[in-house]
Structure 1
């Protein structure tokens, strides 16, 4: 005898209450409907990804990725002279009637080992000089000895002792190097002094003024109205005081990445133009004297 609707509904409720796993006809339809919902989410990757919980494997992968990132190199602290006593200082490259003297901070380890200025292959000094017009051909560190004779250019340093990094020199040591540097510049009386590194100019400024150079008071390139006399020399033939032009460029060390290659090249080109003007002027004076 067929069951009435009320009887069927009561049996289904009883099955649910008793935990009976034998699903009714209506239960099968409910299960089928739930599977349709699952298929809908399967067709929608964005929804499916949103529902996927973070697993331990995904966390470990992120941790591995972060561990492979390059760590910032540790900055070295002050190194006493005894630490690099086995390295010899590099002689200055100077001579008479120089147009420009380049002032570096101090010899690096590669420079001291090779016996040539700015010898580290990562240093941009020689590539930038070659491109700038300061010289007429490509030059490298082995050309440092011929700079005075061939191009009327010289090189010296603020501090003579070698170290691996600038941080291994003390601030007091850098400031104290100013009088010796100034004496060399006065003795050779160049028309231009190129400071290769802002830190060198800051040390000179500190020695001359007794205070720190404020960033707002400084721009790279030719310095003007800096408030003190530096490397001025009295002419031997007259009472005229010769005061060199001061030109400051960023350090060419490969460790200094704060300034772009394009920015450095632009400053070097400006310096190269000035050196060429002086060189042409000297050549014209020689021709006039000979005629």
Structure 2
């Protein structure tokens, strides 16, 4: 028989002996240890937070980079905004006086131009750089120096629509066409030599109104050799006719290097021109991309458009252009056309 100490140890170890009858629930009678019931796999809680997937390798050789999905930002197209939307903004005053050489006509003031009370004020607008590069000013002017243009360079400013908006898409075609009558009235009053539209969209709406009552030209149209720069023309896109359909005639390219075929005739007056012609340059706004999104390529192109305008003005001043090949705008016909445009 063993010693009392050995007997006591054997009894203590017997408390931890495995019991096959109760294999799912094992408990110890010792106050120092309790064995928790074994959980089945279905009872194991799962995490609700998904684990981030890591890339298998890293270009830097360190810990793997976390792959994140990036949702691209999509710019929403603006739609018509009523006058009440920007009622808190002020219109930009016209810069007009009798006998100006050229009046630049924009579509309407931007929010920045309204705030600064100066046309083409947004930092991305290329107007002032193109104006200087085209030879109209002796240096690059700041938009807020615009008040000096009529006095120093015989240059004026106006807009087809006076109310400011963030983008031209917030204007309606009707209000642009209604503004055509007011523009014709300004031309009749101040008699500029040329009105230059800064943007083809403005010209399209203006021409929509004036062409309906314009009087035919007296002689056929002839391109001006002095300002011909064929590389400025927009190439017509070839059209593919559908089977068994009549082929469409190719679209005539818009000639940026020529004046538009219309004129406003004024009554004879001393030291004032008797005809106002029209010119169009592409929009200088940073929101409008001309052929290429690279601004370093756009600016030289814009400068060439302005330079072509200046060459035409010089030809007009030297009486090198025959006005009889231009259609005559009928102010009364313009008023009648605008009156038919519903509110």
Does TM-score exceed 0.5, indicating one fold?
yes
RMSD: 3.1
Cα shift at 1:57: 5.5
Q: 1:109 aligns with which of 102, 111, 126?
A: 111
Closer, same or farther: CA 127–237 of 1 in aligned 2, 3 Å:
closer
Closer, same or farther: CA 193–221 of 1 in aligned 2, 3 Å:
farther
Asked whether the 8 Å contact 2:126–2:299 carries over to 1, the reply is: no
Give the corresponding residue for 2:310.
272
Distance in 1 (CA, whole Å) between partners of 2:273 and 2:128 is 32
Distance in 2 (CA, whole Å) between partners of 1:81 and 1:161 is 7
Task: Provide the aligned length of Structure 1 versus Structure 2.
Answer: 216
Q: 1:242 aligns with which of 267, 274, 280?
A: 274
Write out per-residue CA displacement over residues 70-125 of structure 1, whole angstroms, 9 at most, x where no aligned residue: x4422210000001110111110112221100011100000001111111111111
Q: 1:129 aligns with which of 126, 131, 137?
A: 131
Asked whether the 8 Å contact 1:105–1:196 carries over to 2, the reply is: yes
* TM-score (ref. length: structure 1): 0.66
Asked whether the 8 Å contact 2:177–2:208 carries over to 1, the reply is: yes
Give the corresponding residue for 1:84.
86
Write out per-residue CA displacement over residues 124-168 of structure 1, whole angstroms, 9 at most, x where no aligned residue: 111111111111222120121111011100000000111110000
Write out per-residue CA displacement over residues 9-31 of structure 1, whole angstroms, 9 at most, x where no aligned residue: xxxxxxxxxxxxxxxxxxxxxxx
Give the corresponding residue for 2:288.
256
Asked whether the 8 Å contact 2:102–2:193 carries over to 1, the reply is: yes
Confirm whether residue 219 of structure 1 aligns to residue 251 of structure 2: no
Asked whether the 8 Å contact 1:232–1:243 carries over to 2, the reply is: yes
Closer, same or farther: CA 201–172 of 1 in aligned 2, 3 Å:
same
Asked whether the 8 Å contact 2:263–2:277 carries over to 1, the reply is: no
* TM-score (ref. length: structure 2): 0.57
Distance in 1 (CA, whole Å) between partners of 2:160 and 2:119 is 13
Cα shift at 1:243: 2.1
Closer, same or farther: CA 277–141 of 1 in aligned 2, 3 Å:
farther
- Helix, strand or coil at the partner of 2:186: helix
Asked whether the 8 Å contact 2:92–2:118 carries over to 1, the reply is: yes
Q: 2:149 aligns with which of 147, 150, 153?
A: 147
Name the structure where helix makes up a greater proportion of residues: 1
Asked whether the 8 Å contact 1:196–1:252 carries over to 2, the reply is: yes
Confirm whether residue 232 of structure 1 aligns to residue 268 of structure 2: no
Distance in 2 (CA, whole Å) between partners of 1:118 and 1:241 is 28
Give the corresponding residue for 1:98.
100
Unaligned residue ranges in structure 2 (runs of 5+): 1-52, 57-64, 214-249, 292-297, 320-343
